[in-house]
Amino acid sequence: MKINNVNTFANQKGAVLATSLIILMIVTVLGVSVMKTNILEEKMVNNDRLHKEALHIAELALREGERYVDPVSGNSPEFTFNNFVTTDTTTDKGMYLTTAAPTSGWWKKEGGGVDWENSNQVKASSSGIDNPPKYIVEQLPVHNSQVDSIESSTVQTRKYYRVTSRALIPGTKAKVMLQSTYLK
């Protein structure tokens, strides 16, 4: 009996190896692309979370500033806004007259406004947060209005205040500034 030694490997040219390397390269490129997309999405979600956190903290300081202006909020009866400052901040930090404001408001740092990092120029929230948000109150120009009341029909001077709050998340670029106008 004669045995034929057929060398089956001699006829192969390596097509399977080349094809499998090409497929492996395509799968690797797709995997890296998906990984980059996931990392980008994770950064976007984290930035959104930090922004929302800063927004909530700024809202907290804004409400605190409004309570500071509101006479029903429990502030002492001797509290008046006669201690608003015009150019220096030694009288009562965080209180400003808009009529004396540089350019268009104390809340803008450009043009000589408030330095939000200077604790002598802003009020820090008493919220108990490690890096508390800060706020300022600006007294806007006086507005005279007619009062419709049974007790009196005299013209009453009403004052408008602009409360501006600013919150930062330490170690990030998350920063939010909010404003409200309050009539007293």
Cα–Cα dist 51/44, whole Å:
10
Report if residue 2 sits inside a domain. no
Count of domains forming the chain = 1
Report if residue 4 sits inside a domain. no
Position 22 confidence tier, pLDDT thresholds 50, 70, 90: very high
CA atoms within 13 A on the CB side of 15: 4
Report if residue 138 sits inside a domain. yes
Q: Does the pLDDT at position 40 exceed 90? A: yes
Cα–Cα dist 84/68, whole Å:
13
Position 79 confidence tier, pLDDT thresholds 50, 70, 90: very low
**Could you list the residue range(s) of the whole structural domain that residue 80 is in?**
15-183
Q: What backbone torsions phi and psi does residue 155 show, to the nearest 5 degrees?
A: -80, 130
Report if residue 31 sits inside a domain. yes
CA nearest 164: which of 121, 131, 100, 120? 121
Cα–Cα dist 179/167, whole Å:
12
Position 39 confidence tier, pLDDT thresholds 50, 70, 90: very high
Report if residue 3 sits inside a domain. no
Q: Does the pLDDT at position 11 exceed 90? A: no
Mean pLDDT for 14-27 is: 92
Quick check: helix, strand or coil at residue 128? coil
Report if residue 99 sits inside a domain. yes
Q: For 126-181, write each residue's pLDDT tens digit.
A: 877 788 899 888 887 766 554 555 555 666 667 788 889 999 988 888 889 999 98
Report if residue 60 sits inside a domain. yes
The token pair at 154 is 């005299």
Selection from 51-65, 78-92, 155-169 with the highest mean pLDDT:
51-65
Model pTM? Answer: 0.67
The token pair at 3 is 């045995």
Q: For 86-99, write each residue's pLDDT tens digit.
A: 444 445 667 776 65
Quick check: helix, strand or coil at residue 144? strand
Report if residue 8 sits inside a domain. no
